[in-house]
Structure 1
């Protein structure tokens, strides 16, 4: 009998292999051949999952985005003060360690490629909109529970917060000796203190 293929499991394997190749070669250097070699499959097998280079780039981007979103969802499922929850969520989105730095490298590289490709740009815009929605919810909880300064603009602050995340990520990727994990955490704490009344932890 022919072997039954678990396509979801195989896709997870290929995504994991893609992330390892990205770590080794950078997003621009990822090819179907490299992923196949890393995963231990033939290029013919990968043809069922990746049509072209754009598919690979989108897969890497979505994998990085979903990893961050999953970690934030796990935080939201546990009891936290809303300001502390936002601090922890922002730190999950920043390149504070090697795995998160790889996620940031993928995102920064993806921006450059999206400048020349409308399809990639639309994929990145969808991620942008989704992230704004998550940040809006986190900020709205802070406002609703009475821990924000009067006049806090939830929508404007969500966009400002994402601009902070993006700016820190770019600087950490390009200038790691300047934008260190300590500096990143200080920037997050300063941002939270600018609109909340809660004593932000210095962890």
Structure 2
């Protein structure tokens, strides 16, 4: 694992455990020689994870649209800050630069980014792991919902299992590094019902 793309909130959230986990995850990346690719902001969990990687001497690449630079949220302390024209360009470049993806707590942008790359992985367009860092049970409701999607026949268990979930950084990194993509098609056929 060379670089992990982290999706997370541009806000800190109300629970101080979220910021602490973002910092700890950034430190774990640097300690393991894994670079960070992220959305390029200086605020919230995004800024915390980037600052933690840099504080430990790790490599950080930020990717941010010009519109967010104009709103003064870009992290100008980065050696590698790539400014793009749109959110679409941002996501495509982040996906190209990364060897795996992790969602920390965040809002709708975090969810959208994770679901897009997970969809690509399910379709076989990318062969990179996708994961949830389930800090303080933040993703418990989502994982329960995903299990119900399997139960209702809209997702194969195999594809549900592609989404790695862990509540500790070391275990999450171990599972990302050990990931092997499944070799099965996306669609549920009549014979599988």
- What TM-score does the superposition give when structure 1 sets the normalisation length? 0.28
The structure with the largest helix share of the pair is: 1
The structure with the largest strand share of the pair is: 2
- What TM-score does the superposition give when structure 2 sets the normalisation length? 0.29
